[in-house]
Amino acid sequence: MRIAVLGGGPGGLYFAYLWKRRHPDAEVELFEQNPADATWGFGVVFSEQALEFLRADDPDTVDAIAPRMESWRNITLNLRGQSVEIDGVGFSAIGRLELLRLLQARAESAGVVARYGTQVQSLDQLAGYDLIVAADGLNSLARRTYEGDFGFSISYSSNKFAWYGTSKTFPTLSQTFVATERGCFNAHHYRYSPEMSTFLVECDRATWQAYGFAETSIEESKAICERVFAATLDGHTLISNRSVWRNFPWVWNEHWWHRNVVLIGDALHTAHFSIGSGTRLAIEDAIALVKALGAESRLPEGLARYQAERQPIVKKLVTAARTSADWYEKFPEHMSLDPMDFAYSYITRSGRIDDSRLRAMAPQFMARYAARRANGGAA
């Protein structure tokens, strides 16, 4: 089989690597418009469950990635000068560029032909390929070519966010909520290397308008965020990399393939950053596609199997992500709660975690929370 992969992000690289490793005689070419060492964003985060899912299918890749990752067992919430730790919520993070380099090396070692700095202007350029795997992100050329056939739709959350990095490192995945005279901010921050952290700043639309962010430059916005989170940054600065204010885009496609074109990753679906890593979803899509195609002798049946088996899983996660995003749309209201009640509201926001599961997952937090409730809400 002759396969073209559009997009050199984690999903495209991982599909190309997996397929070529399992089918050495296949011709797999990957097309990425940016140079091999170009990326946006800073760190990407994986839950423990996500890493175990990957280990079950490809332990060698996990063994290559794991030593480069930063890991922790707790989540820390900071509100009104108080911190609440929720135990038992394990995550690991790695720099996006570091992850790309590792996956690039694995794809190359398997024999994938990667063409970086190569922009595909039209799918007509790929007419000779048996399969086109569209891993080309939110603005996917392949999806735009057949938007109606894919049943594409997009909507946006009302909150605004900007993605920064910082040299300030944090012991756990943390969130800091800050009230100012003109509105409320939230920062999602976690270290992804011994020297660097991701620092995503979020606010509701009213706050964004009150600060005039629509008229400020990237540097001016960064300076405002540094002042808002001065105590959290502790003298460190924020680092920009395309750090513009955006609304989170909800992408969905009812049909996951058309003719010989199949979608994975952000080209196919998105899930809010508060609950799911787009990188994790893209990699899991790649695994599911490789398995489905390998289980069928004909391409249409393999593509149909991919959608039939993977779509219900993604739908469930996206539903939880929307519920989580709804909580963030109202986070200024939640900030009036006592820190322990706030933490409980936060950790149960997606509807996927009830008290029974929470007691098993985070026994220390739940013991403190139960003691506080038994004491009539007193700290």
- Tell me: the pLDDT tens digits for 237-261? 999 998 999 999 999 999 999 999 9
- Which residue would you say has higher pLDDT here, 264 or 62? 264
CA–CA dist 264, 282 (Å, integer)? 6
Query: CA dist 299 to 44, 134, 193, 268, 306, Å?
Result: 32, 15, 41, 19, 11
Q: Tell me phi and psi for residue 84, to 5 degrees.
A: -125, 125
Average pLDDT, the chain: 94
Q: What is the pLDDT of residues 298-327, one digit of tens each?
A: 999 999 999 999 999 999 999 999 999 999
Cβ neighbors of 280 (< 8 A, separation 6 or more) are: 44, 46, 47, 50
Contact predicate 274/1, CB 8 Å: no
Percent pLDDT > 70 in the chain is 99
Does position 163 have pLDDT exceeding 60, yes or no?
Answer: yes
CA–CA dist 357, 361 (Å, integer)? 6
Q: pLDDT class for 378, splitting at 50, 70, 90?
A: low
CA–CA dist 243, 201 (Å, integer)? 10
The token pair at 336 is 């009036």
The pLDDT of residue 52 is 77
CA–CA dist 254, 340 (Å, integer)? 40
The pLDDT of residue 137 is 96
Q: What is the pLDDT of residues 13-44, one digit of tens each?
A: 999 999 999 999 999 999 999 999 887 779 99
Report CA 212 to chain centroid distance, whole Å: 28
Residue the block writes with tokens 């391409």? 299
CA–CA dist 355, 330 (Å, integer)? 22
In terms of residues, how long is the chain?
379
Percent pLDDT > 90 in the chain is 84
The pLDDT of residue 277 is 75
- What domains can be seen in the chain, in order of their start residue? 2-39+96-155+250-328 (3.50.50.60)
Does position 49 have pLDDT exceeding 90, yes or no?
Answer: no
Decide: helix, strand or coil at residue 304.
Answer: helix
Does position 379 have pLDDT exceeding 60, yes or no?
Answer: no
Give the chain's count of helices (H) and strands (E). 15, 17
Does position 70 have pLDDT exceeding 60, yes or no?
Answer: yes
The token pair at 48 is 């423990």
The pLDDT of residue 58 is 87
The pLDDT of residue 350 is 85
How wide is the angle at C-alpha 129 spanned by C-alphas 123 and 135, nearest 5°?
A: 60
Kindly tell me the sign of the dihedral angle through the C-alpha atoms of 138, 144, 150, 151: positive
Residue 188 β-bridge partners: 175, 200
- Residue 373 CB: number of other CB atoms within 10 A? 13
